[in-house]
Structure 1
Amino acid sequence: MQWQDEAIIIGVKRHGETSVIAELMTRERGRHLGIVRSGRSRSMQPVLQPGNRVEVVWRARLDEHLGEFKLEPLQLRAAKLMETATAVYGVQAMGALLRLLPERDPHPHLFEALDIILDAMDDPSDAGELFVRFELAVLNDLGFGLDLSECAATGTRSDLVYVSPKSGRAVSRDAGAPYADRMLALPDFLGEGASRTADRDGMAAAFRLTGHFLSRHVYEPRGMTQSTARDGFVQAALKALSRAPDDKTPQGSGIIPPAA
């Protein structure tokens, strides 16, 4: 058995004296593990860093075997990802999100999103927005997508400011007013047709929103706890946004639409 694909490294662990087991997010075959012989060598260590994009060839006698990877570097961006706290935590947090998905289950849109977000990690505003949309996309692929397109009570598509913590559906200002203390806030930048990037308060609300549904539908039922890397990313992103100017114009924040 053999195949070739493009992939992003999301994790590495030692295997024997000189080898490693690499965990990759491939374009066509989802999250996939394989042995890299001599992966601890001086020449391979710079390649086997989370966030790097590689060309991979996988070989095994049978499809269900772990198999071996042969890797060629395409984009070595790990060094750049070490320059900011948002990037350091972000690459780890997205790797943890991808581990919630079944191994070898194709999610090509998540590969594309991961590749773009990693290139945007040096800008905390863009990184925060894209990370939240990545979480929404993962929730959607797990079968727990949020419906932020219309009010759950009235069907209206305007003035949506809340999200039901139970159903994950948007609620309009008037319909949700009697239950406002029990609702989650819907940040403006996640609404349909939004034209501005998030400020610090909006980003904090977005992190609370996705964190709530990840805990409710994924972590708690599996007996898991939320990734500590996510906590680090959230703190770093909010700290950076508190120092950012308020008049920043949007830059490519629509690569992952709000999950429906």
Structure 2
Amino acid sequence: MKWSDEGIVVNVKTFNEKAYVLTLFCKENGKKRGLFQNSKSQNGAALISVGDIGQALWFGRLQDQLGKFSFERKHQTSLYCFQCSLKNAVFNHLYDIINILPDSHTYPKLYELFYHINIEMQHFNSKDLIIQICLFELLLLSELGFGFDFSHCAVSGVSEVFYISPQSGQCVSREIGIPYHSKLFIIPCFWKKLDLNEDQIIEDFALESPQLYQELQTSLRITEFFLKKHIFEKAKNFSFSRQKIIQWINHSCQKNDSKC
């Protein structure tokens, strides 16, 4: 059997002197591994790298076998990451996340945003990058079944919500949550304006306010808690790459600087 799909290279491992095992995150087939032949130049350097985007052809006897890939690269994200420490940290963090997703599960919205971030990486300033990370982590939780419902209070049913419970992930109103204020997360204002169920979640997402970086810090603090709780229990690299992002935000807060 075989299929063709757009995909992003998320991992490259040496198989032998003439081949690598590629892991691609594909638009319609999710995360998939396969052998890629003739992937070295004359000096031994790989001709394909993490962050490459292109058209992939996978073929194998059975869907659950390793199979083989052919791949035509159309974009190389890594070229734009290593001259900026924040972009490098964001790049590593995003790919750490994608690599722990289950194989062969499709995540169309997550792929769309992941693709968008990779394509636009060269144009993003630091504020743009952090906004995209906030959105990506929120969408990741939602796609994996741990999303938040901002439509109403889980206790009283009123439409205005203010807190999130770290225990249940449910949202409650200010009135219900005040007695437990120290034990709850305050919901970032911009979260309530998002609809992660919409087909298009990229173009309309913007954040401009005097509390810009405070909002982003709060967003990342909450998603970090739930990502560690539900997804990253055994992912050792999560704290390292993400901590560098947090350090950048803290530094930018002091300078109000969006340059990268």
TM-score (norm 1): 0.83
Instruction: Give 1:75 shift.
Output: 1.5
Indicate whether 1:215 and 2:217 are aligned. Answer: no
Instruction: Give 1:24 shift.
Output: 1.0
Alignment deviations for residues 144-169 of structure 1 (CA, whole Å, 9 cap, x no partner): 222233222332333x3321111212
Q: 1:41 to 1:149 in 2, by over 3 A?
A: farther
When structure 1 is superposed on structure 2, of 27-36 and 162-171 the one drifting more is 162-171
Q: 1:43 to 1:36 in 2, by over 3 A?
A: farther
Instruction: Give 1:105 shift.
Output: 1.0
Alignment deviations for residues 79-112 of structure 1 (CA, whole Å, 9 cap, x no partner): 1122322221212212222233210111122111
Structure 2 CA distance, aligned partners of 1:242 and 1:117?
26
TM-score (norm 2): 0.83
Give the RMSD, CA atoms, in angstroms.
2.5
Alignment deviations for residues 165-198 of structure 1 (CA, whole Å, 9 cap, x no partner): 1121222222211111001121122122697346
Structure 2 CA distance, aligned partners of 1:226 and 1:183?
27
Of the three residues 129, 132, 141, the one matched with 1:130 is: 132
When structure 1 is superposed on structure 2, of 72-81 and 185-194 the one drifting more is 185-194
Give the % identical residues: 26
8 Å CA contact retained: 2:141, 2:147: yes
Instruction: Report the counterpart of residue 13 of structure 2 in structure 1.
Output: 13
Instruction: Report the counterpart of residue 243 of structure 1 in structure 2.
Output: 255
Name stretches of at least 5 consecutive residues in structure 2 with no aligned partner.
Answer: 195-204
Indicate whether 1:150 and 2:152 are aligned. Answer: yes
Instruction: Give 1:242 shift.
Output: 4.1
Instruction: Report the counterpart of residue 256 of structure 1 in structure 2.
Output: none
- Secondary structure, in 3 states, of the residue corresponding to 1:219? coil
Instruction: Give 1:225 shift.
Output: 4.1
- Secondary structure, in 3 states, of the residue corresponding to 2:33? strand
8 Å CA contact retained: 1:7, 1:56: yes
Instruction: Give 1:56 shift.
Output: 0.8
Instruction: Report the counterpart of residue 40 of structure 2 in structure 1.
Output: 40
Counterpart amino acid of residue 242 in structure 2: R
When structure 1 is superposed on structure 2, of 231-240 and 36-45 the one drifting more is 36-45
Q: 1:43 to 1:191 in 2, by over 3 A?
A: farther
Alignment deviations for residues 113-135 of structure 1 (CA, whole Å, 9 cap, x no partner): 10112244432222212212212
8 Å CA contact retained: 1:117, 1:130: yes
Name stretches of at least 5 consecutive residues in structure 1 with no aligned partner.
Answer: 247-260
8 Å CA contact retained: 1:125, 1:241: no
